[in-house]
Amino acid sequence: MIPPGFIQELLSRVDVVEVVGRHVELKKAGINHKGLCPFHGEKSPSFIVSPSRQTYHCFGCGVHGDAIRFLTEHHGMSFVEAVQDLSQQVGLQVPEDERSEADRAAAAEQRQRQTTLTDVLAKAAQHYRQQLKSSPRAIDYLKRRGLTGEVAQRFGLGYAPEGWRTLASAFARYDDPLLAESGMVIAQGADEGKSEADQKRYDRFRDRIMFPIRNVKGETIAFGGRVLDKGEPKYLNSPETPVFVKGRELYGLYESRTGLREKGYALVTEGYMDVVALAQLGFPNAVATLGTACTAEHVQKLLRFTEQVVFSFDGDAAGRRAAGRALEAALPHATDTRSFRFLFLPAEHDPDSYVRAHGQQAFEAQVRDAVPLSRQLLEHAAIDCALDTAEGRARMLAQARPLWQALPDGALKLQLLSELARQGGLPAEELSGLWGQGQGNSRGRPGNAQAHGSSPAETDDPFDDGTPPGERYAS
C-alpha cells in the first residue's frame, strides 16, 4: 500500500491545471480555469479547475476529483499507474520498500527503455501522417472507404510508402537498434548473432494504411497496417515489444474514452476499420481486439470506463468460437451491476457495413437486442448436447459447471444455477449439492481497478469533499 503521506506530498507538488490542461482546452475564469467537460458532451463549458484547491468539478455531470482521479477516470489508469505517472513527472520516487535496490533500479531502467521506445514510435507515427498527406492513392483509398479527413486526423491515420527503407528518411540512424526493438524495422540475422553490419534491415510496413495503436495515456505503442489493394496479409500488426502486448491492449480505447461515457457502453469489434468507421457514423464508443481473442485483461481495462460491454461478432462458426472466448473472459467480472451482451450480425455484414446499409437507428436496435451474458452462457454450455436425452443434459451440465463457477457471487449466479438446473432436468438444490458449491465457495469478486473510491458526497462547496488528500487514498 502506498503511504497516505506520500499521496499528500505528491498532490501538493502536482499542478492539476497542468495535468487536466494537457487534455482539455482551459481558459482563465477569475481565480479558476474553465473548459468543456471531458466526461460528458456539452456545448457550454461547465467544467471548472481550481488551482487553489487543486481539484476539478463539473457542474453539468457532477464529476469531481484531483489529479490522480483525473488520470484514473479520464485515462482509465489504475490507481498505482496514475501515482507512478505523476511521480515520474515531478521527480518523486514511489515508496516500494518491499523491493530490493537492484529490483528498483531494474524497474527504473525498464521505464526509461519504454519511454525511449514510445518516442521512436511517436516519430514513426508523425512520419506516416506526413506521408499520407502526399499520397493521393492512399487518400483516395480512405475516401472510397467513406472516411473523412477529420476522422483520419482524430485516429492519427498515416501511410507507409512502398519501398524497403523509407523510414531511413525519418531517422538519422537506420541501423539504430531501437528501430528493430520497437518492431518498425526487421533485422534479418539478429537472432543468429550477426553483427549490425551483417544484418539485412528493411521496413516492416510497406504500402499500407497505418493505424497507430495508443495506450490509455495516448502514447503510440504499436501499429496496424492494412494493404490498399490485394495482398497478404490484409492486416499486419507490430510484434509484441516491451511496450506492446496484444492481450492487454484495445485499438481505439484512447480515442473512445468520451464516447464510452456518452453512449454508456463499449462496443467491442474485430477490426481497425470498424472502429474508425463507426466513430464517423455516430458510434464513438467502439474498440477492437488486435488480432487476438478477447482476454480478461481487455475486459478489466474496459470496465474502468463503463459497466456495460457489447461484444460484436460474425454469426458464423468462427464468430461463435470467438464469442465463447469473450464469454470466458467476461464471466469473472460479471457482477450484478454490470452488463455483458453478445451481438451477432448477419453473415454478410460487419458493424461498419450494417450501419451504412441500414442506418444508425437499426444498428442501435441490434445492440439493444443483443444476447445477454446469461443466455449466452446457457447456449454455449449446450453446444453439441442433445437436451432431449439424459446423456445430453448431463454433458450440458458438465460443460456449464466451470462457466458457472467463474461467476462472482451474487443474484445472477443464483438465478443461473436455477436456469441450468431446469435445462438439465434437475432440482436446483440437487444441482447445487452435486457441484458442491455454496454461494461462499466460488471465485471471489474481482477488485475495482480504481482503488480510490466512489464520488465524494455532496457538500456546499463542490471543490471540497471534506477529506484530507492523503487520507482519501488510504483504503
For 15-31, what is each residue's pLDDT tens digit? Answer: 999 999 998 999 999 99
Does residue 396 belong to any structural domain of this protein?
yes
pLDDT of 442 higher than 90: no
Residue 110, in any domain of the structure: no
Query: Is residue 372 domain-shared with residue 387, that is, in the same domain?
Result: no
Residues 299 and 372 in one domain: yes
Q: Note whether 369 and 263 are same-domain residues.
A: yes
pLDDT at 475: 40
State the Cα–Cα distance between residues 73 and 63, nearest whole angstrom. Answer: 9
Domain stop point among 242, 273, 298? 242
Q: State phi, psi for 41 to the nearest 5 degrees.
A: -75, 130
C-alpha pair distances (Å), 40 with each of 58, 60, 137: 9, 8, 37
What is the edge-to-edge ordering of all strands in the sheet holding 55-58? 27-29, 32-35, 47-50, 55-58, 64-65
293: which residues sit within 8 A by CB, 6+ positions away? Answer: 322, 325, 326, 329
Q: How far apart are CA 312 and CA 343, in angstroms?
A: 5
d(CA 296, CA 125): 29
Alpha-carbon distance of 182 to 76, in angstroms, equals: 24
Query: Which of 213, 242, 271 is the C-terminal boundary of a domain?
Result: 242
Chain centroid to Cα 135, Å, comes to: 31
Provide the residue type at 147 as one letter. L
DSSP bridge partners of 48: 34, 57
Question: Any idea what the Cα angle at residue 350 is, between residues 348 and 354, rounded to 5°?
Answer: 85
pLDDT on residue 193 = 62
* Distance of alpha carbon 163 from alpha carbon 139, whole angstroms: 18
Domains in the chain, number: 4
- Regarding whether 183 and 79 lie in a shared domain, the answer is no
Residue 331 shares a structural domain with residue 417: no
- 66 and 122, same domain (yes or no): no
pLDDT score of 226 more than 80:
yes
pLDDT at 104 over 70: no
The predicted structure's pLDDT at residue 65? 93
Residue 446 lies in a domain: no
Is residue 31 situated within a structural domain?
A: yes
pLDDT at 2: 82
Average pLDDT score over the chain: 87
Q: Does residue 419 register a pLDDT over 90?
A: yes
Q: Are residues 123 and 236 in the same domain?
A: yes
Q: Which domain holds residue 370?
A: 257-376
354 with 387, same domain: the answer is: no
CATH number (domain holding residue 63): 3.90.580.10
- CATH number, residue 134: 3.90.980.10
Q: Taking Cα atoms as reference points, which of 374, 369, 286, 366 lies closest to residue 330?
A: 374
pLDDT confidence of 271, banded at 50, 70, 90?
confident
- The rounded distance, in Å, linking the Cα atoms of 260 and 302 is 9
Least confident of 110-119, 165-174, 301-310, 314-323: 110-119
User: Has residue 455 got a pLDDT over 60?
Assistant: no
Query: Residue for cell digits 457441484?
Result: 435
Instruction: Report which of residues 268 and 231 the model is more confident about.
Output: 268
For residues 369 and 387, state if they share a domain: no
CATH number of the structural domain spanning residue 350 = 3.40.1360.10
- Statement to judge: residues 232 and 272 lie in one domain: no
Cα–Cα distance, 157 to 212 (Å, whole number): 7
Angle between helices 4-13 and 67-74 (to 10 degrees): 90
Cα 475 from chain centroid (whole Å): 26
Instruction: Check which CATH number belongs to the domain holding 430 and give it.
Output: 1.20.50
Co-location of 59 and 83 in the same domain? yes
